[in-house]
Amino acid sequence: MVLPCLDEAEALPWVLSRIPDGWRAIVVDNGSSDGSAELAESLGALVVREPRRGFGAACHAGLTAATAEIVCFLDCDGSLDPVQLPRVVEPVLAGRADLVLARRRPTTLGAWPLHARLANLELARRLRSKTGVPLHDLGPMRAAPRDRLLALGLGDRRSGYPLEMVLSAAAAGLRIAETEVDYRPRTGRSKVTGTLRGVRQAVADMRAVLAAPPATLLVIAKEPVPGRVKTRLTPACSPEQAAALAEAALADTLTTLSTVPASGRILVLDGRPGPWLPAGWEVVPQVDGGLDERIAAAFGHAPPGVPAFLVGMDTPQLTGELVAAPLSASVRPGTDAWFGPAEDGGFWAVGFARPELGRRLLPGVPMSTEHTGQVLLDRMERAGLRVHHLPELTDVDTAPDAARVASLIPGSRFAACWNASLGVAP
Contacts of 89 (CB under 8 A, 6+ apart): 70, 72, 100, 143
Convert the pLDDT of each residue in 298-318 to its tens digit.
Answer: 999 999 989 999 999 999 999
pLDDT over threshold 80, residue 263: yes
The answer on pLDDT for 202 being more than 70 is no
Q: Residues in the chain, how many?
A: 426
Residue 113: the pLDDT is: 84
Q: How far apart are CA 63 and CA 71, in angstroms?
A: 7
pLDDT in the model for residue 122: 84
**pLDDT tens figures, 98-136:** 999 999 999 998 888 887 888 888 888 888 988 899 999
Q: Which residues contact 131 (CB under 8 A, 6 or more apart)?
A: 166, 167, 170, 171
**What 3-state DSSP class applies to 4?**
strand
d(CA 153, CA 170): 13
**How far does the chain reach from its first CA to its final CA, in angstroms?**
35
The residue among 267, 299, 263, 260 whose CA lies nearest residue 285 is 267
pLDDT range class, residue 254, cuts 50, 70, 90: very high
Task: Catalogue all structural domains in the chain, each as residue range(s) with its CATH number.
Answer: 2-210 (3.90.550.10), 216-421 (3.90.550.10)
C-alpha 50/C-alpha 40 separation (Å) is 15
pLDDT at 208: 66
- Across the range 271-295, mean pLDDT stands at 97
Q: Report DSSP state, residue 82.
A: G
Confidence (pTM): 0.89
Q: What is the pLDDT of residue 374?
A: 98
What is the per-residue pLDDT across 319-378, written as a single tens digit (0 to 9) for each?
A: 999 999 999 988 898 999 999 999 999 999 999 999 999 999 999 999 999 999 999 999
SS3 12: helix
